[in-house]
Every structure is written in C-alpha cells, then in structure tokens.
Structure 1
C-alpha cells in the first residue's frame, strides 16, 4: 500500500491485539490487487445500553484506481459478530471478494451489457 493503513475505533478503547489482527489482514490485500492506494478500517462496538445482541460493525474503505471498494459488515444480524475477531474476518473476506471482482472488471473478464 502506498498510503499507511488507518484504523479507527468507535465506542471502544483502541486495542493493540485488534489492531494487530487488522494490520495482518490488510497486509494480505496486496496479494489480490497490488495497486491499493489507501485502506481505512473502522471498528464500531455496540452501544453500552444493549444487553443482548452486542454486534460489532466493521467498515473497510479501500482506495484503488478507478473505483473505491467499500465494505460495510453490519448487514444481517449474525450472532457470530458478537466476537470482534469474527466480524473483522468476515469484513476482510468480503473485501477480498470485491477486490477480485474489481480486478476481473479491469482485465475485461466480465461481460458488460450493451446500453
């Protein structure tokens, strides 16, 4: 990556362990697309007022030439996302899929419909 990774925490204290996991996952993104310009990761803890279903939200914004890739892992209420590590893993898995799709479009492997 040309620009350093930006990690933000919302409603939670910064954790060196979580930050290390994010840095490890982000470093692997270069394998799928080597021209990544930036990567911003936001990890949001649930509000303290919730007693059940405290699901972490992870947002990844990846800057690439042509079109940015945005992953927002908060969609369906997946109870596995009560663990921040699982939420991070799922978000980066989705980011990899979107990067692979972006690379296929750039290479012309995906057919485009005539207007």
Structure 2
C-alpha cells in the first residue's frame, strides 16, 4: 500500500495541516500490521457544517479497498484529532475482527458424516 505521502488524504473545508497529514500517514501504515491485503486507502477530513447546539463538528472517513469487501468507517467529533483517532481505532478493530474470522475459518476441521451401519 506504499504510495506518495499525502495523495490519499483529502481535506475538505479545513486548512491543510502537515502535522495532521503526517499523523494520518503513520496510522495508515500501522493498519498494514493488521491486514496485509489493503490495495488502496483514502482518508477524508472535513468540517461539514455548523450545528446550532453542538458547535463545530469535524468528520474523518477512512476508506480501504481490500481484496474481498471494502471497509469504510466514519467518525464525528468536536475535534479533528479526536475524529481521526476514533475512526482509526474503529478501523483497527474491524480489521482485527476480520483477521480473527479468517483464522477461525482456516483452522476449522470439516466434519465428515459417518456412514450408517446396519
């Protein structure tokens, strides 16, 4: 999944931050530890709208193209850093569960039906 440093990070309605882009890149590289079959990734960081009661809300979306099913996780928070951390922790949890399901499926022994004896 090695690509150019920040070409898969999209900033919408917020200023580009090298520190935030670096944090996202490190978290993307860390995801390879949990799942080696990531084909492509894209992270969208945005401040979609103003809420009257909640104040400014930020949204972080992580989209992963995997062999099999793609994964998209979105998290909203009043801080862009909290939104990024929440989204990536959810993605890590999802990839860990996916890996565990694969392992249990791989090591299940098929049961053979015994022929009936008379």
TM-score w.r.t. length of structure 1: 0.78
Flag as ranges the 4+ runs of structure 1 deviating above 6 A: none
The structure carrying a bigger strand percent of its residues is: 2
Residues 32 and 96 in structure 1, CA contact (< 8 A), matched pair in contact too: yes
Residues 11 and 47 in structure 1, CA contact (< 8 A), matched pair in contact too: no
The change in CA–CA distance for 1:85 and 1:48 in structure 2 (over 3 A counts) is same
Distance apart, 1:52 and its partner CA:
4.8
Structure whose CA Rg is larger: 2
Is 1:90 aligned to 2:86, yes or no? Answer: yes
User: What does residue 97 of structure 2 align with?
Assistant: 101
Which ranges of structure 2 fall in alignment gaps of 5 or more residues? 109-118
Is 1:30 aligned to 2:32, yes or no? Answer: yes
State the aligned residue count: 104
User: What does residue 74 of structure 2 align with?
Assistant: 72
Residues 2 and 37 in structure 1, CA contact (< 8 A), matched pair in contact too: no
Distance apart, 1:34 and its partner CA:
1.3
TM-score w.r.t. length of structure 2: 0.76
User: What does residue 77 of structure 1 align with?
Assistant: none
Residues 27 and 88 in structure 2, CA contact (< 8 A), matched pair in contact too: yes
Which ranges of structure 1 fall in alignment gaps of 5 or more residues? 75-80
The change in CA–CA distance for 1:42 and 1:50 in structure 2 (over 3 A counts) is farther
Write the deviation string for residues 6-55 of structure 1: whole angstroms up to 9, x where unpaired. Answer: 10011112111110110011110011011111110000114368685211
